[in-house]
Amino acid sequence: MSKKVLIVSTSIRKGSNSEIMAREVERGVLEAGNEVEFVSLAGREIGFCRGCLACQKTGSCVIRDGMGALIGKVREADAIVFATPIYYYEMSGQMKVFLDRCNPLYISDYKFRSVCLITASAEEGDDVAERAARGLQGWIECFPKASFGGLLSSGGVTGPNEAADREELMAAAREFGRQV
């Protein structure tokens, strides 16, 4: 049966390497016969979680902003793929804010069973992306029906659009998408 895959691209820069990788993953998802929705956080107003925990009583957030259009997509997806630049050896701040703002889902039912991560960084080395993956895994542990679905990382990409020239990376991204 076809899966609904949500891709959340969290870099807000033009020519984002992680987004280029995510677009190739999207192609792979479609090739595998699955449905995909691609969401970029660029241009969206998403405020910090205020920690009021009202959502744990009401199931919805008190903040009325860009997250309102996205939280339902997270709840209804069968698989979620996050794409992030590495900032100071971690996921981007905007991705972390997004995860925090998914707090209403903590008390709700949710469909996602697999959560994957794409990272782009200047530095090479497995450890760079693994720290961000560990951060995401902490979030996943709070949704016990879901598990970590895999990591696609690229070091050696600093300036915008550099990922596009890496043929092997693009092929790996497509294959990653087929396996989501």
Ligand X SMILES: Cc1cc2nc3c(=O)[nH]c(=O)nc-3n(C[C@H](O)[C@H](O)[C@H](O)COP(=O)(O)O)c2cc1C
Binding interface with ligand X (CB under 6 A): 11, 13, 16-19, 85-89, 120-123, 128, 157-158, 160
Contact of 75 with 110, CB cutoff 8 Å: yes
Residue nearest to ligand X (CB): 85
Nearest to 83 by CA among 146, 38, 123: 38
Least Å distance, CB 18 to ligand X, is 3
Q: Which two tokens stand for residue 115?
A: 């959560």
For the CB of residue 135, give the shortest distance to ligand X in the complex, in Å: 13
Q: CB-wise, 17 or 34, nearer to ligand X?
A: 17
Which residue type, as a one-letter code, is found at position 130?
Answer: E
Residue 125 near residue 80, CB atoms below 8 Å: no
Between 61 and 133, whose beta carbon lies closer to ligand X? Answer: 133
Helix (H, G, I), strand (E, B) or coil at 128: helix
Question: Any alpha helices (H) in 77-150, and if so which ranges?
Answer: 93-101, 126-141
d(CA 164, CA 17): 7
CB of 94 vs ligand X, minimal distance in Å: 10
Rounded least distance, CB 168 to ligand X, Å: 17
Could you tell me the smallest distance in angstroms from the CB atom of residue 162 to ligand X? Answer: 7
| Closest CB to ligand X among residues 110, 156 | 156
Q: Which is nearer to ligand X, 21 or 146 (CB)?
A: 21
Calpha distance 44→142 (Å, rounded): 26
Does an H or E element contain 73, and which?
A: helix 71-76
Nearer to ligand X, 38 or 87 (CB): 87
